């Protein structure tokens, strides 16, 4: 009896292991079209044209990855993605998507249509980087030539990730942008991408600059240096260089100097005075003197003090200038000044939130800068040129 039971059990287990071990809807790797990056343009026949960069995995001893472009049109992003089946015969697989590039033309009308699907669908990931193309179309970016990696979208992701050491473009993920759209007292921004000429006339995708939004609508793009100032005012500087030129001993010869930023902290404190609000922006940056292109001694005690003072004024002036420019030209609070008030001074915010956009344009911002030079790298003196 016991044996019969055992045998029966064994048979049941055996049959089950054949019959029930399978996936309901399994998909093999070679049947997937893995999306690395996506670009959205205005469509010719339908509302949107979606161009995706697909990773082709060639089987073999070494896995070789190749990039391939493919586009499809549709009335929504998901529609485009599904219509791509008729082009490739394979379903797009979105989990490895790294970047979403949107053309200027449609970003100006609002990007909510593009980013909703990335936040909502369970296959797409919400930590896709958001970027705006400064070229005519977003698709153009993918038509550039890659430099190091074979996949352009992965390359651009690396660029964005390494912005920490450059600070010339903000790094915004789709979910973060969605948060900024909803939060009070801040407008989102995204990185700008463009094509850059290389030797030999070929163009390659490059990241740099900030796309400025109002709500979900693109209203302008500012350059790389101004981006750094914006990042200073947002307290988002993680590294990068601070480059300036100062006058040396010879009146006609300027000395270029680069500081490498190691730590930067920006304190943003609103000051309330009756019905007026003022913003105090205190930037404290720890740098090393990484390059000193001249003979003047800026390292000794006296020279150092002079250099610090000079650099502080230069930094202060450029940040102030950029803030003023944003206030006057765009009038959108990309710095999140309003958000600071909302978070730390909730009661006052209730009074001013309704016309914050107007207030922001005329907001008085006091920038204070403090630069701490912690070392001058390996050299303790400037290089010398023998006189005679």
Reported as type and span, the H/E element at residue 269 is strand 254-273
Assess contact for 282 and 271: CB atoms under 8 A.
no
- Among 53-61, 297-305, 338-346, 361-369, the segment contacting another protein (CB under 8 A): 338-346
User: CB 37 → another protein: shortest distance, Å?
Assistant: 17
Interface with another protein, residue 119, by CB under 8 A: yes
Residue 276 phi/psi, 5-degree rounding, is -95, 145
In 3D, which of 229, 222, 208 has the Cα closest to residue 317?
229
Nearer to another protein, 178 or 221 (CB): 178
Binding mask 163-192 for another protein (x = CB under 8 A): ------------x--xx--xx---------
- The whole-angstrom separation of Cα 198 and Cα 186 is 37
16 binds another protein (CB under 8 A): no
Q: Report the residue number, 83 or 119, with the smaller CB distance to another protein.
A: 119
Candidate list 61, 200, 346, 362; residue touching another protein; CB under 8 A: 346
C-alpha distances in Å from residue 312, one per residue of 29, 162, 227, 228, 257: 56, 26, 18, 15, 13
Reduced to 3 states (helix: H, G, I; strand: E, B; else coil), residue 158 is helix
Q: Which is nearer to another protein, 73 or 157 (CB)?
A: 157
The least CB distance from residue 374 to another protein, in Å, is 25
- Among 3-11, 53-61, 99-107, 343-351, the segment contacting another protein (CB under 8 A): 343-351
Residue 74 is encoded by which pair of tokens? Answer: 């549709």
User: 28: helix, coil or strand?
Assistant: coil
Q: Out of 342, 365, 367, 369, which residue is the one contacting another protein (CB under 8 A)?
A: 342
Interface residue with another protein, options 125, 304, 325, 361 (CB under 8 A): 125
Residues of this chain that bind another protein (CB under 8 A): 24-25, 119, 122, 125-127, 175, 178-179, 182-183, 339, 342-344, 346
């Amino acid at each position: 009896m016991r044996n019969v039971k055992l045998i029966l059990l064994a048979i049941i287990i055996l049959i089950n292991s054949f019959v029930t071990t399978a996936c309901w809807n399994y998909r093999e790797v070679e049947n997937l079209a893995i999306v690395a990056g996506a670009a959205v343009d205005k469509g010719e026949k339908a509302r949107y044209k979606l161009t995706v960069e697909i990773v082709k995995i060639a089987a073999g001893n070494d896995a070789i990855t190749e990039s391939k472009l493919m586009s499809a049109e549709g009335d929504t992003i998901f529609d485009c993605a599904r219509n791509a089946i008729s082009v490739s015969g394979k379903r797009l697989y979105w989990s490895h998507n790294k970047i979403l590039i949107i053309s200027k033309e449609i970003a100006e009308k609002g990007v909510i249509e593009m980013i909703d699907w990335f936040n909502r669908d369970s296959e797409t990931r919400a930590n896709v980087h958001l970027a705006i193309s400064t070229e005519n179309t977003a698709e153009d970016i993918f038509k550039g030539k890659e430099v190091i990696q074979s996949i352009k979208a992965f390359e651009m992701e690396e660029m964005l990730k390494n912005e920490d050491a450059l600070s010339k473009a903000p790094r915004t993920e789709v979910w973060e942008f969605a948060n900024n759209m909803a939060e009070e007292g801040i407008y989102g921004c995204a990185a700008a991408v463009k094509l850059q000429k290389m030797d030999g006339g070929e163009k390659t995708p490059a990241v740099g600059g900030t796309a400025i939004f109002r709500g979900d609508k693109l209203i302008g793009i500012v350059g790389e240096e101004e981006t750094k100032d914006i990042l200073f005012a947002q307290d988002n500087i993680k590294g990068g260089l601070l480059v300036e030129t100062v006058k040396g001993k010879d009146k006609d010869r300027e000395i270029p100097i680069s500081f490498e930023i190691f730590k930067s902290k920006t304190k943003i404190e609103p000051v309330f005075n009756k019905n007026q609000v003022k913003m105090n922006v205190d930037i404290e940056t720890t740098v090393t003197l990484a390059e000193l292109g001249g003979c003047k001694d800026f390292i000794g005690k006296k020279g150092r003090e002079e250099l610090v003072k000079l650099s502080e004024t230069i930094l202060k002036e450029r940040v102030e200038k950029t803030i003023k420019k944003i206030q006057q030209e765009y009038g959108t609070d990309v710095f999140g000044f309003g958000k600071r008030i909302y978070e730390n001074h909730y009661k006052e915010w209730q009074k001013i939130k309704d016309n914050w956009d107007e207030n922001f344009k005329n907001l008085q911002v006091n920038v204070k800068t403090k630069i701490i030079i912690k070392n001058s790298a390996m050299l303790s003196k400037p290089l010398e040129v023998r006189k005679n």
